[in-house]
Chain A
Amino acid sequence: MTLLSLEGVSVSFGGVAAVREVAMRIEAGEIRGLIGPNGAGKTSLINAIAGVVTPQSGSIRFEDREITRLAPERISSLGVGRTFQHVELFRDETVIENVLTGLYRHHVYGLAPAMLGLRRGAEAQARREAAELLRMFELSSFAHARAGDLPFGIQKRVDLARAIAARPKLLLLDEPVSGMSEAEANAAIATARSLAHERGVTLLIVEHNMRVMMRLAERITVMHRGRVLAEGTPAEVSADPAVIDAYLGEVAHA
């Protein structure tokens, strides 16, 4: 079953085209990589899917539903979650509060019960679920630490745990291992894998670390200058001359 499909999606910022006529299909349960040199339009594409930027043209469908012009919170509540390249934690809150905030759309109760304190059942459930997520991400010992005080690698994990709390069907991971040590990156990859398999979360991962991508993704879409350059299994993509040219070109110029 196709979970997400993009048709002729173009995004531009003040006349500069960041994404041009991109078409893409992601099947439910898939782990898809999205790679490309800097400036290839990966983050713009993710932002378009999440509703943070509106495409100039084209259509984005999630579970056969048009989401192209929906507000980000609507898209999120349909089941599209995301993490951020430079983590966007609620810095003044504790780790567990961050994860509890991720549960906003679940364990729902109204304003009046909230003010009168008549929501203990829902709150207790939310806290149990949050504690469970912290255990899963090995964050239990940081539960009451202020999120902004934690090292970057741990903040990344909190970001992921918070995104999972919102129970996404499709999770957009924007450079999930950037700024992590090798060991942290390996652990994060293992977590992402098990998430995808155990919780049935479909992953779309942006990463320009080719090595990470080869180990993690089942299929890879390569972007270059706003367009899709190639798509296939990691082996197919890494053997594609156009991809090698785009990537090695970048490395050679860097």
Chain B
Amino acid sequence: MLGAAAVLCVAPLALGSYQLYLAQLMMINVIAAAGLNLLTGNCGQISLCHSSFMAIGAYASALVVIRTGLSFLPALAIGTFAAALLGACLGYPARRLSGLYLALVTLGFLQLVQILIEEFPELTGGVRGLSVPKPQVLGYAIRSDFALYYVLLGAAAFAVFLADNLQRSRFGRAFNAVRQSAFAAQALGIPLGRTKLVAFTLAAGFAGLSGGLMAVAVGFMDPTEFGISTSLRQITFIVVGGLGSVAGSVLGAVLLTGLPEFLRGTQEYADLVYAAILLGSLLFMPRGIKGLLDDLWSLRLVRKPATP
């Protein structure tokens, strides 16, 4: 743990500017994936509009800075809160749905958000996009990519801390219960609707935080960045990393965000490679990298307990 933390703290000194940018994206994706994993991996609710909540967080926090002159951190908090609030608004009707119907409703929401961004260009910049000013944290302007990396690292660590605590609480258990047997969950007094609503709200909040950070890291917002392919990419992160596991969210987001670096020259086929990785991991490691690591770990270090 400490070793990993040390590497994360020192790493940017050894990285080129493109790698540093990738490292920033990794942190951003870790936050979004951790949120999606709570909703999909733990609570079992599919969402195709995770990127829309990133968009809401991104536009809301950027617009607060641009329009009101508020500094970055309160704007980020407002963006996160706005995303969570809209997550609750979607979660309220969606809590009664599952499977295909839920997929369709979240897809509809994704389209709606895209259209709204494009239809209000005087506010959002529309299809031409929106430039985002450099962030100010506690009075200091964050100009260098190094400084921004540490801000993002701190945010990602905080998000992982929150998700991990949550998962090991009664709420995390309720999420897992709802996914595995709604019947049994209710018989134990766990309210299905309210539990799903909490999951939708939290996932949207994490996505909003991630989006707000993405806006300042990229410095420019292009509405097409928040389309279906970003949502699918988030799903790929958690499936490949390990559904329902915070470590899985981190592994999936870090490794797959870093993938372009390993796949230079296959740029046009990047989506194809992602698809192949998603299919391959579904077929060959259904519990993701985290599950695979657990298995390897137990093979090497712990004897399999005798079956009773």
Residues on the A chain within 8 Å of B161, using CB: 117
Q: Does B71 contact A (CB under 8 A)?
A: no
Q: In the complex, are the beta carbons of B192 and A52 less than 8 A apart?
A: no
- Take A76-B186, A76-B187 as given contacts and tell me if A101 and B169 are in contact as well, using a CB distance cutoff of 8 Å: no
Q: Which of B162, B183, B184, B191 has the most CB of A within 10 A?
A: B184
Residues on the A chain within 8 Å of B169, using CB: 109, 114-115, 119, 123
Q: Does A245 contact B (CB under 8 A)?
A: no
Interface residues of A in 76-114 (CB under 8 A from B): 76-77, 81-82, 84, 88-93, 97, 100-105, 107-109, 111, 114
Q: Which of A51, A92, A104 has the most CB of B within 10 A?
A: A104
Q: How far is the CB of A148 from chain B (nearest CB, A)?
A: 9
Residues on the A chain within 8 Å of B32, using CB: none
- Bitwise, A121-157 to B at CB < 8 A (1) or not (0) is 0010010000000000000011001000011001000
Q: How far is the CB of A54 from chain B (nearest CB, A)?
A: 14
- Bitwise, B295-306 to A at CB < 8 A (1) or not (0) is 000000000010
Residues on the A chain within 8 Å of B244, using CB: 92
How many A residues are at the interface, by size bracket? 35 or more
Q: Does B171 contact A (CB under 8 A)?
A: yes
Q: Does B177 contact A (CB under 8 A)?
A: yes
Q: In the complex, are the beta carbons of B174 and A166 less than 8 A apart?
A: no
Identify the closest chain B residue to A147 (Cβ): B180
Q: In the complex, are the beta carbons of B176 and A90 less than 8 A apart?
A: yes
- Take A115-B165, A117-B165, A151-B308 as given contacts and tell me if A73 and B177 are in contact as well, using a CB distance cutoff of 8 Å: no
Q: How far is the CB of B145 from chain A (nearest CB, A)?
A: 30
Q: In the complex, are the beta carbons of A104 and B165 less than 8 A apart?
A: no
Q: Does B198 contact A (CB under 8 A)?
A: yes
- Bitwise, B243-270 to A at CB < 8 A (1) or not (0) is 0100000000000000000000000000
Q: In the complex, are the beta carbons of A101 and B189 less than 8 A apart?
A: no
Q: In the complex, are the beta carbons of B171 and A145 less than 8 A apart?
A: no
Q: In the complex, are the beta carbons of A108 and B170 less than 8 A apart?
A: yes
Q: Does A71 contact B (CB under 8 A)?
A: yes
- Take A84-B183, A88-B181 as given contacts and tell me if A114 and B173 are in contact as well, using a CB distance cutoff of 8 Å: no
Q: Does A162 contact B (CB under 8 A)?
A: yes
Residues on the A chain within 8 Å of B172, using CB: 114
- Take A72-B186, A76-B189, A114-B171 as given contacts and tell me if A101 and B198 are in contact as well, using a CB distance cutoff of 8 Å: no
- Take A73-B189, A76-B188, A114-B166 as given contacts and tell me if A104 and B174 are in contact as well, using a CB distance cutoff of 8 Å: yes
Residues on the A chain within 8 Å of B185, using CB: 73, 101
- Bitwise, B189-231 to A at CB < 8 A (1) or not (0) is 1111000001000000000000000000000000000000000
Residues on the B chain within 8 Å of A77, using CB: 189
Q: In the complex, are the beta carbons of A163 and B187 less than 8 A apart?
A: yes
Residues on the B chain within 8 Å of A123, using CB: 168-169
Q: In the complex, are the beta carbons of A111 and B188 less than 8 A apart?
A: no
Residues on the B chain within 8 Å of A102, using CB: 188
Q: Does A254 contact B (CB under 8 A)?
A: no
Q: In the complex, are the beta carbons of B198 and A166 less than 8 A apart?
A: no
Q: How far is the CA of A42 from the CA of B181 in the complex (A)?
A: 22
Q: In the complex, are the beta carbons of B308 and A73 less than 8 A apart?
A: no
Q: How far is the CA of A142 from the CA of B162 in the complex (A)?
A: 29
Residues on the B chain within 8 Å of A100, using CB: 170, 173
- Take A104-B170, A115-B165 as given contacts and tell me if A93 and B188 are in contact as well, using a CB distance cutoff of 8 Å: no
Q: How far is the CA of A114 from the CA of B170 in the complex (A)?
A: 8
Q: In the complex, are the beta carbons of B166 and A93 less than 8 A apart?
A: no
Interface residues of A in 149-175 (CB under 8 A from B): 150-151, 154, 162-163, 165-166
- Take A90-B177, A114-B165, A114-B169 as given contacts and tell me if A162 and B188 are in contact as well, using a CB distance cutoff of 8 Å: yes
Q: Does A50 contact B (CB under 8 A)?
A: yes
Q: In the complex, are the beta carbons of B173 and A166 less than 8 A apart?
A: no
Q: How far is the CB of B77 from chain A (nearest CB, A)?
A: 14
- Take A72-B186, A73-B190, A142-B308 as given contacts and tell me if A111 and B198 are in contact as well, using a CB distance cutoff of 8 Å: yes
Q: How far is the CA of A101 from the CA of B165 in the complex (A)?
A: 16
Q: In the complex, are the beta carbons of A89 and B308 less than 8 A apart?
A: no
Q: In the complex, are the beta carbons of B186 and A73 less than 8 A apart?
A: yes
Residues on the A chain within 8 Å of B305, using CB: 145
Q: How far is the CA of A111 from the CA of B165 in the complex (A)?
A: 10
Q: How far is the CB of B188 from chain A (nearest CB, A)?
A: 5
Q: A52-B186, A162-B184 are in contact. List 8 more A-B contacts (CB 8 A).
A: A72-B186, A93-B176, A107-B170, A111-B166, A116-B162, A141-B308, A163-B188, A166-B188
* Complex A-B: 11 CB contacts under 8 Å: A50-B187, A51-B186, A72-B187, A76-B188, A77-B189, A84-B184, A100-B173, A104-B177, A111-B166, A151-B308, A163-B187
